């Protein structure tokens, strides 16, 4: 479930939240920066770690959600388990911090019902985001997954205008137009190849919308948890676990699990735990990549990672795609890269303009 938990960290690190104790500082106690070669090596390692974690998580979730050998039709249970494991890992790190090293800077976590209620609106959006991401992945191939949920940038622009009254430049709108064109061409080509799932397309669009809403609600809710991304992650996943129970009951997933023939298989639970660990780790490595590079570089890296993921999926599943299908992917990736580049240039101009007020800088995302 790529980009399901990353939005929270991106908002926290880019929106003035408290510094995260798990993310190492770029300077030492004396304010000295490490040598260039060390910094370059560290950046390379972090980017490779982000690529590996993100791509592996997508392939692993595809196996759990839609493997012919597994035959488990319980996507909400898979998502619930990953949320439960994330909450448990947050709590475990907090207990480790209370005992001293190796995580002495982590905040102590305790469940406060008042805070939990305040985070609840975000948790509802969070559930919609991770569930729709997983349902999109369940119904479409890994190769098409990036195109299927590619409208996040478009919804960012739309919601910024509708909710925040922020306008977007012509060049950024043109980039969004390229993304929309690539999305529709991809849908057309999937239909031509007989692999189109309108259910997957619906959940892909819903996932794109929820990712955008998640960023907005995260910024609103962060003050409730004192700007701590780890407290927010903990409360979000605890709330999600509670809310998933009636949904699983309503959709009959408990009955599905009762008849599931691999429920007692150690290999199945091993894969489930591994998926949960990757789901937790993607947020951390995303934060590392932003910390050691920049939000702009992170977005460029994510676009390049999506391209590599698509190629790997086509090779791994031995698929044959048409020229227009590849064109749709290139349009989505090119439009995303162009939008990121244009917004980066705009933010740099705002940052370098001494006449711009700090409040206007924050609205622009600087």
Higher pLDDT, 229 or 133: 133
Per-residue pLDDT, 33: 64
pLDDT for position 107:
65
Q: What's the pLDDT at 24? A: 47
Q: Report the pLDDT averaged over residues 157-166.
A: 86
Total count of residues recorded for the chain = 366
Q: Which residue has the higher pLDDT, 226 or 20?
A: 226
pLDDT at 17 over 60: no
- Given this model, what pLDDT does residue 96 score? 67
Per the model's pLDDT, the better-predicted residue between 101 and 203 turns out to be: 203
Please give the Cα distance from 332 to 150 (Å, whole number): 7
The pTM assigned to this predicted structure is 0.82
The region that residue 206 occupies, defined by phi over 0 for left and psi between -120 and 50 for alpha, beta otherwise, is alpha
Lowest mean pLDDT among 54-63, 221-230, 258-267, 274-283: 221-230
Q: Is the pLDDT of residue 34 over 80?
A: no
Question: What token pair was written down for 6?
Answer: 């990353």
* Cα→Cα distances 205→202, 209, 282, Å: 5, 6, 22
pLDDT of residue 228: 81
Looking at 42-56, 122-136, 350-364, which range is the least confident one? 350-364
pLDDT band at 282 (very low <50, low <70, confident <90, very high): confident
Band of pLDDT at residue 6, cut at 50, 70 and 90: very low
Q: Nearest Cα to 294, choosing from 206, 207, 365, 205? A: 365
Q: To the nearest whole number, what is the mean pLDDT of the chain?
A: 83
Q: At what angle do helices 295-316 and 6-14 cross, to 10 degrees?
A: 160
| pLDDT for the residue numbered 181 | 95
- pLDDT tens digits for range 304-326: 899 999 999 999 999 989 999 99
Q: Kindly report, residue by residue over 336-346, the tens digit of the pLDDT.
A: 999 988 888 88
For 213, list phi and psi in degrees, rounded to 5. Answer: -65, -35
Q: Which two tokens stand for residue 10?
A: 């991106």
The band of 353, judged by pLDDT with boundaries at 50, 70 and 90, is low
Q: How many CA atoms lie within 13 A of 39 on its CB side?
A: 12
The answer on pLDDT for 106 being more than 80 is no
- Could you give the residue ranges of the DSSP H alpha helices within 165-294? 170-192, 198-221, 229-250, 253-258, 266-292
> Using CA atoms, how far apart are residues 280 and 93, in angstroms rounded to an integer?
12
**Could you tell me which residues come within 8 angstroms of residue 193 by beta carbon, excluding any fewer than 6 positions away?**
321, 322, 325
- Give the confidence band of 164 by pLDDT, cuts at 50, 70, 90: confident
Letter string b/e over residues 183-216, b meaning 16 or more CB atoms within 10 A of that residue's CB: bebbbebbeeeebbbeebbebbbbbbbbbbbbbb
pLDDT at 100: 57
pLDDT of residue 20: 44
What's the confidence (pLDDT) of residue 8?
A: 42
Q: Cα–Cα distance between 91 and 222 in angstroms, integer?
A: 19
**Confidence band of 9 (pLDDT split at 50, 70, 90):** very low
pLDDT tens for each residue of 240-250: 999 999 999 99
3-state SS class at 275: helix
What does 46-78 look like in DSSP terms, one character per residue?
HHHHHHHHHHHHHHHHHHHHH-TTT----HHHH
First to last CA, the chain: 28
Check residue 13 and give its pLDDT.
Answer: 37
Q: Would residue 199 be called left, alpha or beta, if left means φ above 0 and alpha means ψ between -120 and 50 degrees? A: alpha
Return d(Cα 247, Cα 324) in angstroms, integer.
Answer: 39
pLDDT-above-70 percentage for the chain: 83
pLDDT-derived band at 219 (thresholds 50, 70, 90) equals: confident
How large a percentage of the chain has pLDDT more than 90? 50
Q: SS3 for 309? A: helix
Q: How confident is the model at residue 365 (pLDDT cuts 50, 70, 90)?
A: very low
How far from 361 is each of 24, 154, 324, 353, CA to CA, in Å? 26, 22, 40, 10
């Amino acid at each position: 479930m790529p980009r399901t938990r990353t939005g929270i960290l991106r908002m926290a690190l880019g929106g003035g939240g408290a510094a995260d104790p798990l993310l190492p500082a770029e300077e030492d106690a004396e304010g000295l920066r490490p040598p260039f070669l060390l910094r370059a090596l560290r950046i390379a390692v972090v980017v490779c770690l982000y690529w590996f974690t993100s791509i592996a998580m997508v392939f692993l979730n595809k196996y759990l959600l839609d493997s012919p050998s597994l035959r488990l039709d319980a996507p909400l249970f898979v998502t619930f388990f990953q949320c439960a494991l994330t909450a448990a890992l947050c709590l475990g790190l907090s207990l480790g911090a209370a005992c001293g090293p190796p995580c002495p800077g982590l905040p102590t976590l305790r469940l406060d019902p008042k805070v939990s209620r305040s985070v609840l609106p975000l948790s509802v959006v969070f559930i919609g985001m991770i569930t729709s991401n997983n349902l999109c992945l369940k119904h479409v191939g890994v190769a098409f997954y990036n195109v299927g949920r590619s409208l996040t940038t478009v919804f960012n622009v739309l919601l910024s205008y509708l909710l925040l009254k922020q306008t977007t430049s012509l060049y950024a709108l043109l980039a969004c137009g390229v993304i929309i064109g690539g999305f529709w061409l991809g849908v057309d080509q999937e239909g031509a190849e007989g692999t189109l799932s309108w259910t997957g397309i619906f959940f892909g669009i819903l996932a794109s919308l929820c990712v955008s809403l998640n960023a907005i609600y995260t910024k609103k809710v962060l003050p409730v948890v004192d700007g701590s991304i780890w407290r927010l992650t903990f409360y979000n996943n605890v709330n999600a676990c509670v809310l998933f129970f009636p949904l699983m009951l309503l959709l009959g997933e408990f009955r599905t699990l009762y008849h599931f023939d691999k429920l007692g298989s150690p290999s199945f639970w091993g894969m489930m735990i591994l998926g949960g660990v990757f789901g937790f780790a993607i947020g951390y490595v995303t934060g590392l990549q932003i910390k050691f590079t920049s939000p702009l570089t992170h977005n460029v890296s994510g676009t390049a990672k999506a391209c590599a993921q698509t190629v790997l999926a086509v090779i791994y599943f031995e698929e044959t795609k048409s020229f227009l299908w590849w064109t749709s992917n290139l349009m989505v990736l090119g439009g995303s890269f162009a939008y990121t580049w244009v917004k980066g240039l705009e933010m740099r101009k705002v940052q370098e303009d001494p006449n711009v007020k700090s409040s206007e800088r924050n609205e622009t995302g600087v």
